[in-house]
Amino acid sequence: MTPAGGPPPYPSRDADARPSVAASPAALRRLADDLFVEARAAAARRGTPDLTFMEVCGTHTMAIARYGLRDLLPPEVRLISGPGCPVCVTAMGDLDRVIALARLPAVTLTTFGDLIRVPASRSSLAAERAAGADVRVVYSARDAVEIAAAEPGRQVVFAGIGFETTAPTVAAALLEARTRGVANFSVLGLHKTMPLPLKALLELGETEIAGFLLPGHVSVVTGSAGYQFLARDFGVGGVVAGFEAHDVLRALLSLVRQATPAIEIEYARAVRPEGNLVAQGLLARVMEPCDADWRGLGVIPGSGLRLRGEFAALDAERRFAIHAGEPLEPAGCRCGEVLRGVLDPAECALFGARCTPEDPVGACMVSSEGACAARYRYRGLDD
Ligand code: SF4
């Protein structure tokens, strides 16, 4: 426990932009001890046997599994995963359109590696590549611009999947392509934005969520101000967390300590309330809000990003006639429920049996940020 009147014996809340200091095992233990005491008090104060917190970000899901943090949690604290893995929340119909684009003979389809093995309705990019399609993994949209510049005979399309973290880099690539006159580059804009799915989840009300571990990477760009509605309109607090073990535990400690729901930042070495204004400006210059289809949540108005009309010439949606069939969800896959936090990955009947990272049935088992992949990789089948 924290000694009365003294500072906590573990890394305290970031006061400024100093780099992260890794906590020692003993410091983590003390942090967990404080969480035990304060979670019990918070549960009693709120008159509930347990407090369910949702980690929104897929990177948090993976960090929590990798550090084995669930084993350190008090019985009053339950952690569930949310819709924060961009590949996982991409709707089947959108995956099918990526596949349809990859099948066009003139197209070189570029994407991040996470997407390659994700099952679409009838195929995957890996299967299409094996069948002869020109599918290439890139590390940034700018890499795709370079490919287009080097191969003017190809139509190079970048599959733009991700949240506010990656969207500004895609916006920058689009501006660069336009400035350099790389006319054979285009983007299929499937980006999504973060705050609105949390509103959708709370409105659905399937699970009593006591608070959110808010995403670290996304909040670097967006800031924390956009989450205020959670506390104001829904009475649910949130804490922006970093990705070290002590970051997550400290954010949980802040959540259980909240007497009044509030939005806090426990990742001040990277996140400011107002976010990164340069990245926001870049994004606003190139993209605008649109409706987006989320796996598990359906269409959420205004939660996606599309290219502004000024960039229509670089919009793959307008450049190509994309014909994809009716989307088909894999039989038995319950990714939608996992992404809404109503189903633990291990509760899916296919988990670890028919569905493994080597032979995935659903997106949540493929992505490096997927809840099923995290559970399988770090907890195995024991639970
Ligand atoms: S274990 Fe596999 S099939 Fe089940 S929800 Fe997860 S990804 Fe889908």
CATH topology of domain 43-84+195-265: Rossmann fold (3.40.50)
CATH topology of domain 88-193+275-318: Rossmann fold (3.40.50)
Nearest atom of ligand 1 to the alpha carbon of 337: 5
Residues of the chain where predicted confidence (pLDDT) is lower than 70 = 1-22, 380-383
Residue 116 CB–ligand 1 contact under 6 Å: no
Q: Residue 2 contacts by C-beta under 8 Å, 6 or more apart in sequence?
A: 8, 9, 30, 34
Return the DSSP state at 132. T
Nearest atom of ligand 1 to the alpha carbon of 343: 5
Token pair in block for residue 155: 């139509």
Compute, in angstroms, the gap from residue 351 CA to the centroid of ligand 1: 6
Chain-centroid distance of CA 324 in Å reads: 25
What pLDDT shows up at residue 1?
44
Tell me how crowded residue 22 is: count the other CB atoms within 10 A of its CB.
Answer: 10
Compute, in angstroms, the gap from residue 118 CA to the centroid of ligand 1: 12
What value, to the nearest 5°, has the Cα angle with vertex 102 and ends 97 and 103?
100
Q: Residue 7 contacts by C-beta under 8 Å, 6 or more apart in sequence?
A: none
DSSP sequence for 232-262? HHH--EEEE--SSHHHHHHHHHHHHH-SS--
Residue 87 CB–ligand 1 contact under 6 Å: no
Residue 374 CB–ligand 1 contact under 6 Å: no
Q: How far is CA 282 from CA 52, 128, 175, 353, in A?
A: 36, 34, 9, 45
Amino acid of residue 106: A
Ligand 1, atom 6, lies closest to the CA of 372
Chain-centroid distance of CA 194 in Å reads: 8
Ligand 1, atom 7, lies closest to the CA of 362
Domain range list for the chain = 43-84+195-265, 88-193+275-318, 333-379
pTM: 0.92
Token pair in block for residue 196: 């609105």
DSSP H/E element including 34: helix 25-46
Give all strands (DSSP E) within the chain, no chain letters: 51-55, 77-81, 107-111, 134-137, 155-160, 185-189, 191-192, 211-214, 237-240, 263-265, 287-294, 298-307
Determine the residue of 61, 339, 344, 350 to mutate for testing ligand 1's pocket, defined as the one with the most ligand atoms within 8 A of the Cβ atom: 350
> Do 43-84+195-265 and 88-193+275-318 show the same overall fold?
yes
Compute, in angstroms, the gap from residue 198 CA to the centroid of ligand 1: 22
Helix, strand, coil content of the chain in percent (nearest 5): 45, 15, 40
Residue 372 CB–ligand 1 contact under 6 Å: yes
What pLDDT shows up at residue 382?
43
What pLDDT shows up at residue 23?
76
Compute, in angstroms, the gap from residue 37 CA to the centroid of ligand 1: 35
Question: Rounded to a whole number, what is the largest CA-CA distance in the chain?
Answer: 70
Q: Residue 286 contacts by C-beta under 8 Å, 6 or more apart in sequence?
A: 170, 171, 174, 175, 307, 308, 311
pLDDT in tens, 92-126: 999 999 999 999 999 999 999 999 999 999 999 99
What pLDDT shows up at residue 14?
57
Residue 88 CB–ligand 1 contact under 6 Å: no
Residue 355 CB–ligand 1 contact under 6 Å: yes
Instruction: List, in sequence order, every residue forming a beta bridge with 300; answer none if it has no partner.
Output: 292
What pLDDT shows up at residue 16?
46
What pLDDT shows up at residue 360?
95
Compute, in angstroms, the gap from residue 380 CA to the centroid of ligand 1: 14
Q: How far is CA 226 from CA 9, 124, 270, in A?
A: 32, 35, 16
Compute, in angstroms, the gap from residue 357 CA to the centroid of ligand 1: 10
